[in-house]
Amino acid sequence: MYLDNSATTQVSEEVFEEMKPYFTEEFGNPSTLYKIGRESKKALDQARQRVADAINAKPEEIIFTGGGSESDNLAIKGIAFKFLNQGKHIITTEFEHPAVKETLAYLESLDFKVTYLPVYENGIIKVEDLKEAITDDTILITIMHGNNEIGTIQPIEEIGEIAREKGIIFHTDAVQTFGKIEVDVEKLNVNLLSLSSHKINGPKGVGALYIKKGTRVIPLIHGGGQERGIRAGTENVAGIVGFGKACELASEQLEEHHEKLSAIRDELIEKVLGTIPESYVNGDMEQRLPNLVNFRFKAIEGESLILLLDAQGYQASTGSACSSNKLEASPVLTALGLDPVDVHGSLRISLAPESDAFDVDEFVETLAGAVSRLREMSPLWNQ
């Protein structure tokens, strides 16, 4: 049972069927004049329309990229370098995805100033903090929509209104929310919004950046005139077609999936907290994604928990240092102000629409067994 859909998802059969012809048959370069090229161009246009429809944008506001990370980089560097001589202050949160965080760290090395808003114990910023942080030098606010580790959702609409009033450009990373909850660029009041295909049952290596009409960015990849000159390179036609289809399916099924997944999630939370002593949920209980829950278990370490679960057929992830190649505790959980020891005992479960077969009782039993086995080994556990 795959329970790590926030890391990546399976390409659905419907999406793959739609992509297939674009490898060995309809392989034309969309920039070419003859029929096979024009067919590729048409496929791109259709995909662009589908992505636009899914977020209530216009097709010409969609720029296809090589993934969510590239979209974030294009948005942030694109604005920073555009406004190079007009202001150097950027506002963000303490717990953005590395694609945002590391980009900002790089900009700091180029003398940009970045304010990191606190996210408090519930993993949500306070709008008051944002208001106070804004200065005359602020050129960009970049605040993620849904957090990838704990699933909390920021008040994007409100932030967007403030940004608009002050005339500041606003970017949000909607990679985790898109396809899970409504993402409507008009309602959210954003100038820029990042999407990634492989989180919604589309192929890896494709993403998009929504760029509101009138907002201008410096390209990240210069070259040919593809994507209105904003992103050069021969288009990944098959991947873009797959992404378009995945967007269409995700939009159509949004409500149905929301209901189904949040019901499973709630059952899971109830049973875990009821069965396993000293277990907690990280982040706000209301403003959260329907498909994701991040647990915390006292006195155990995440990587070992994950390995035990994997051995029993459940694939999940942790924010623990020891699971990544960096050996540094999850900055997201650290930002919540958790005791560093507790940060290591986290487990992220993220569901997919196809998680129907997920038997919560069976899983909670396995999980409880694994947790108590690890606790028996742990010198930190004295209960």
Partner 1 sequence: MDYSEKVMDHFANPRNCRKMEDANGVGTVGNPTCGDLMTIYIKVNDDDVIEDISFQTFGCGAAIATSSMITEIAVGKTVEEALKISRNDVAEELDGLPPVKMHCSNLAADGLQAAIENYRENNQ
Ligand X SMILES: Cc1ncc(COP(=O)(O)O)c(C=O)c1O
Shortest distance, position 67 Cβ to ligand X, whole Å: 3
Per-residue exposure over 162-188, b if at least 16 CB sit within 10 Å of its own CB, e if not:
bbeeeebbbbbbbbbbbbbbebebeeb
Shortest distance, position 147 Cβ to ligand FES, whole Å: 24
Nearer to ligand X, 279 or 350 (CB): 350
User: Binding to ligand X (CB under 6 A): which residues in 116-145?
Assistant: 144
Shortest distance, position 3 Cβ to partner 1, whole Å: 18
Shortest distance, position 348 Cβ to a copy of itself, whole Å: 11
Binding mask 3-42 for partner 1 (x = CB under 8 A): ------------------------------x----x--x-
225 binds partner 1 (CB under 8 A): no
Shortest distance, position 30 Cβ to ligand X, whole Å: 11
Binding mask 351-380 for partner 1 (x = CB under 8 A): -------------------------xxxxx
By CB under 8 A, the count of residues binding partner 1 is 26
Cα 19 from chain centroid (whole Å): 23
152 binds ligand X (CB under 6 A): no
* Cβ-contact 346, 294 below 8 angstroms: yes
The item of a copy of itself, ligand FES, ligand X, none sharing an interface with residue 327, based on CB under 5 to 8 Å by kind, is ligand FES
Task: Report how far residue 204's alpha carbon sits from residue 172's, in angstroms, rounded to the nearest whole number.
Answer: 20
Stretch touching ligand X by CB under 6 A, among 54-62, 68-76, 154-162, 185-193: 68-76
176 binds ligand X (CB under 6 A): yes
User: Binding to partner 1 (CB under 8 A): which residues in 272-331?
Assistant: 299-301, 303-304, 307-308, 311, 320-323, 325, 327, 329
Residues taking part in catalysis: 322
Secondary structure string (H, E, C) spanning the chain:
CECECCCCCCCCHHHHHHHCHHHHCCCCCCCCCCHHHHHHHHHHHHHHHHHHHHCCCCHHHEEEECCHHHHHHHHHHHHHHHCCCCCCEEEEECCCCHHHHHHHHHHHHCCCEEEEECCCCCCCCCHHHHHHHCCCCEEEEECCCECCCCCEECCHHHHHHHHHHHCCEEEEECCCCECCECCCHHHHCCCEEEEEHHHCCCCCCCEEEEECCCCCCCCCCCCCCCHHHCCCCCCCHHHHHHHHHHHHHHHHCHHHHHHHHHHHHHHHHHHHHHHCCCEEECCCCCCECCCEEEEEECCCCHHHHHHHHHHCCCECECCCHHHCCCCCCCHHHHHCCCCHHHHCCEEEEECCCCHHHCCHHHHHHHHHHHHHHHHHHCCCCCC
The item of partner 1, ligand X, a copy of itself, none sharing an interface with residue 19, based on CB under 5 to 8 Å by kind, is a copy of itself
Sheet of 113-117: strand order equals: 62-65, 207-211, 192-196, 169-173, 138-142, 89-93, 113-117
67 binds ligand X (CB under 6 A): yes
333 binds ligand X (CB under 6 A): no
68 binds ligand X (CB under 6 A): yes
- The residues binding ligand FES (CB under 6 A) are 321-322, 327
99 binds ligand X (CB under 6 A): yes
Nearer to ligand FES, 104 or 321 (CB): 321
Nearer to ligand X, 276 or 289 (CB): 289
Shortest distance, position 31 Cβ to ligand X, whole Å: 9
Nearer to ligand FES, 263 or 341 (CB): 341
Shortest distance, position 372 Cβ to ligand X, whole Å: 31
Give the number of other CB atoms < 10 A from CB of residue 277. 12
> Residues interacting with partner 1, by CB under 8 A?
33, 38, 41, 299-301, 303-304, 307-308, 311, 320-323, 325, 327, 329, 340-341, 344, 376-380
> Residues interacting with ligand X, by CB under 6 A?
67-69, 72, 97, 99, 144, 148, 173, 175-176, 196, 198, 207, 233-234
